[in-house]
Chains A and B, each alone.
Chain A
Amino acid sequence: GENVEQHPSTLSVQEGDSAVIKCTYSDSASNYFPWYKQELGKGPQLIIDIRSNVGEKKDQRIAVTLNKTAKHFSLHITETQPEDSAVYFCAATLNTGFQKLVFGTGTRLLVSP
């Protein structure tokens, strides 16, 4: 089955810096890769996703890149703000028939003012 690795486990940046979180997946058949932000005591919130037919997707300060050959994808946050502080999870799935999401282990991002 699918296995998703995520690095780093913690990431501390100064406000205004960029942050990059990386994930690798094992199943080459996976074709849908969402990113979730989880704030303390809340459920995961979908922030951006990418499908395997594109290499990059951007939404304001957030971007995701996908390298299908290497089976890795990354989340990029530019101009970080303190409210970006949260745990970020990547996930992968074979999005045919709405399959289960397999999550990475999470990255705790701390943005200091």
Chain B
Amino acid sequence: EPEVTQTPSHQVTQMGQEVILRCVPISNHLYFYWYRQILGQKVEFLVSFYNNEISEKSEIFDDQFSVERPDGSNFTLKIRSTKLEDSAMYFCASSEAGEQFFGPGTRLTVL
């Protein structure tokens, strides 16, 4: 069964460093999303992406965040200068016909 994959599973970084989280969506899906989940809290929407551009973004998705689909299969989330409060699980999701399927997540720890 097709699934969304994410790498790395865990990323530890120093505050102020740049990180790139990678996702491979399900191959025939056209809509891509990033969500995050701070430990013990609910899943929060960050950004949606379609046709090589951002469809919608939340207030969390400020100028420090960017997304890219560099090669037709990967979908990346970049955080330019990480803050302590960026520590969370980051989930990628993709959809074709409405139903969103999530990857296993990347745990980002900012020290």
Contacts and interface: CB of A to CB of B under 8 A. Distances in A.
Given A36-B102, A98-B31, A98-B50, A44 B56 contact: no
Interface of B: 4, 31, 33, 35, 41-45, 48, 50, 55-56, 58, 91, 95, 98-105
A17 B37 CA distance: 30
Nearest to A104: B42
Interface of A: 32, 34, 36, 41-46, 49, 89, 95, 97-106
Contact of A100 (B4, B45, B101, B104): B45
Contact of B99 (A49, A97, A104): A49
Chain B residues touching A, majority SS: strand
B105 A34 contact: no
B48 A100 contact: yes
Contacts of A98: 31, 48, 50, 55, 95, 98, 100
A97 B91 contact: no
B42 A105 contact: yes
A103 B31 contact: no
Contact of B45 (A34, A46, A97, A102): A102
Contact of A43 (B41, B42, B95, B103): B103
A95 B96 CA distance: 12
Given A95-B98, A98-B95, A98-B98, A103 B103 contact: no
A104 to B, nearest CB: 7
Contacts of A41: 104
Contacts of A106: 42
A43 B92 CA distance: 9
B21 to A, nearest CB: 13
A103 B46 CA distance: 12
Contact of B56 (A42, A45, A100): A100
A45 B102 contact: yes
